[in-house]
Structure 1
Amino acid sequence: MKTNLKMFVVLVGLVLVSTSRAWAVEQAPLGEGARGRIAQLRALREENPQAFRDAIEQHKGQIKERLKRLREEDPEKFSEIAEKHRRELRGRLEALREKDPQAFGELMERRRAQIEKRAQGLKEHNPERYEEFVRKHVRKLNELEEKHPERFRSFLENHPHLRERLKQAYSDKEGPTSGGSREERIRGLRALKEENPERFERMMQNHPKVRERLKEASLKGRERLHERREGDIGRGEKIERRHDVRGGGDSRPHINHRDVKRPDHSRSPHVKDWARRDHGNRSGDVRPRQNRHAAGGRPRGNRGGAGRGRT
């Protein structure tokens, strides 16, 4: 029994040793090849920078093709790799920013140029993806402004070109905010909506805060208009009085109540302590209206026949 146990332990040890050696043999060429490739690229960078850049571009193209296939075959693994790459890149950028701010600024300038080149290519060849790219960029800026206002302000200070673009987006001569006052900006937005509805809708999508402010301003304007109308009806400020001289000497103030409505929307003055006009006969004359106040004081006959309507 003891002999069998010893043999079993020896066999397990041999299997483990052989497996580790096989793994080391498989990994050794890969490590040596990678180190040799890195040394070759460093030497090539010193001898021929242009060839070095071409080799790097070719390597990037191969990596993009592999990532493209991986994205189609296994999206979850692709997302994990992309997130890991973003974390590593963010860490390297933070370290470079603390260690060498000048080199960090130069790197950001090159990256900015690459992004602008990519955006221009999308704008020319694929407008739909360009609109999506712009919306994503604006959405990230809005999130940064909401979550980290101080970082957003420092970001604008470090990127004057972006600050100018945002300022231009809000103060374009042909845009919605051509004036300085609030009323002028609102008029500019209305003009933009009438002249170019597509651009107006795109602006509302890219600037949700502006859309919310417009909704609030519209609601407040409606409330103020409603309050003003209610106040005018209650105080009777809209009622105009004019001296109307009617035919036959019937002269008395006439009420123009075109702008005054009752709560039930009837066109009649609704003013407190305002006596309703009496349309009855004040002189006691029971003749028809056209027979009153005739020339010379004599009653006139109407068209229906002489003497009709006389007392």
Structure 2
Amino acid sequence: MTILDGKKTSNEIKEEIADNVNAMVKKGERVPHLAAILVGSDGASMTYVNAKVKACKRVGFDSTLIELPEYTTEEDLLEKINDLNTNVAIDGFIVQLPLPDQIDEQKVLMAINPDKDVDGFHPVNVGRMALDLPTFLPATPYGIMELLERYQIETSGKNVVVMGRSHIVGRPMSILMSQKRKAGDATVTVVHSRSKNLADITKKADIIVAAIGISEFLTGDMVKEDVVIIDVGITRVPDATKKNGYRLAGDVHFESVSKKASYITPVPGGVGPMTIAMLLKNTLLARERR
């Protein structure tokens, strides 16, 4: 069994990006600039955004963090987005999700200039992805594809089961893995909360991408020998033995599934670090396009 080390791989990608930035600096060119909007003080969101700002500094990007209070109106947020859309010094930006209840998340995503949508969530970029045209890929699926490529995992003709149909992970993964590309050419099945006989389906899978949002849902009796496991989930599970009172768990029951897997991502340290690395890669792409 081989661990798909997202932390190590993401560090390699960051080093490659930093080399690109250094080359820009030597040519006297402007370095990439990533902005982020954070509404409210959700703990997980603050942690993610701060990690992104820290990653920007590491690779030599400029970064801007716009922090807005929880009571921010939809109109005020859309105004901030418009400011970033028209700011020529900003190459790409993200609006950290989730948003407070008074703000329409879809309206916000639609308001972002597709050319600066480095999260890859805008319908224009999703459509371009579906048509296999150059675009910004959603960062988490992009990171998974990169892991599969760099570990040279054979996907052509393989049976892939994607657990979950979210617009952020499940749907994009099903599209990307079925396309003619590296880490593609697979036969893809998408399962979700309404799927019947789930274990019968997962037992036939050569590769499973678990993004169903239920901690430790996929167990060893649901997979076959030598399966490749990509665990996208991350949940705080109460654990009295831990100082902070919880441990982090994925959608996969690691102990039982890892005994059968040929490759598996850990939680934490698997898909998570790759997401930030690919956000940086998208931002570099946005700067090169401009």
Q: Which bracket does the TM-score occupy, shorter chain normalised? A: under 0.3
Question: Under a length normalisation based on structure 2, what TM-score does the superposition of the two structures give?
Answer: 0.22
Compare relative contact order (CA 8 Å, sep 6+) and give the higher one, 1 or 2: 2
Compare the two structures and name the one with the higher helix fraction.
1
| Higher strand fraction (1 or 2) | 2
TM-score (norm 1): 0.21
Q: Which has the larger radius of gyration?
A: 1
